Amino acid sequence: MLRRGAAISEYLPGEGAQKHTFVLRNRIITGLSRATLVCGAGERSGALISARYAFDQSREVFSIAGDAYRTDLTGCHELIKKNYAKLVLNSADILSELFADAVTGGEEKTAGGRANKSAVTGKRSGNAGRDANMKFDYGEGASLSEDEKTVVSLIEELSVKCDAPPQVERLGEEAARRGIAVGRLLAILSGLELKGAVTALEGKRYQVN
């Protein structure tokens, strides 16, 4: 790795791993990847946060489907239902989407019959068939619990007080005063991200959407 690779992180060497850092790490992974495949995701799965990152980064998002009654696939089905992810059955489906230009001989035809120039150059924009103004709102309409409302209020209050989105450490201090332990706070923040209520920023900061 020292000769040919690179270690990519937004944290300083020696900083310990915490639950929320894995979520933020996935944002880097999805950004570096051409596509993200969701193989399994429950209603509140962290995989849905990664899917949201990939979607917002204009990367391709794929998902498998299965038994409608399997709770560990509820998130996958919602992604497909809301057109956030493309349904795939096997690896050939993914390859045909990512390398359609090779299949069509270098020209991908649009609905009007004209060649898609991005296919000619071998470049494809992520989720090319979706509305450019489409927003990822997996949790749209989802109500917030009392603890979630408390955390949202904390972020808003600290954003005004600090004149900047608060860091998770500061949030932890204030949340503890209101009876919310750090572990619980991190779980709440992940849930709020999934619902689209907050966004994780660089430097372990959070802002209300």
Q: How far apart are the first and last CA of the chain?
A: 38
- % of residues, the chain, pLDDT over 70: 79
Closest CA relative to residue 79, chosen from 23, 160, 138: 138
Domain positions in the chain are 19-120, 146-208
Mean pLDDT of 175-184: 86
* pLDDT at res. 17: 77
* pLDDT at res. 109: 43
pLDDT digits (tens, 9 = 90+) for 32-81: 999 999 999 888 788 888 888 888 888 999 999 988 889 899 989 989 98
pLDDT digits (tens, 9 = 90+) for 75-118: 899 899 888 899 999 889 989 888 875 555 544 444 444 434 33
* pLDDT at res. 61: 93
Provide CATH code, domain 19-120. Answer: 3.40.50.450
* pLDDT at res. 62: 94
Burial label for 169, CB within 10 Å (0-12, 13-18, 19+), is exposed
Tokens found for residue 37: 């495949």
* pLDDT at res. 39: 93
CB atoms within 10 A of CB 22: 11
Q: List all residues 6 or more positions away from 98 whose beta carbon is below 8 Å from its beta carbon.
A: 34, 35, 60, 124
Matching residue, tokens 């572990």: 183
Confidence of residue 134 (pLDDT cuts 50, 70, 90): low
Tokens found for residue 152: 């949202």
* pLDDT at res. 188: 85
* pLDDT at res. 64: 92
Residue 64's alpha-carbon distances to 81, 87, 186, 203, in angstroms, are 12, 6, 28, 33
- This prediction has a pTM of 0.57
Provide CATH code, domain 146-208. Answer: 1.10.10.10
Cα dihedral 120, 121, 127, 131 in deg (nearest 10):
-70
pLDDT digits (tens, 9 = 90+) for 143-164: 788 888 889 999 998 888 888 8
List phi, psi (to 5°) of 206.
Answer: -130, 145
Distance from C-alpha of 124 to C-alpha of 112, rounded to nearest angstrom: 18
Q: In this predicted model, which residue has the larger pLDDT, 110 or 174?
A: 174
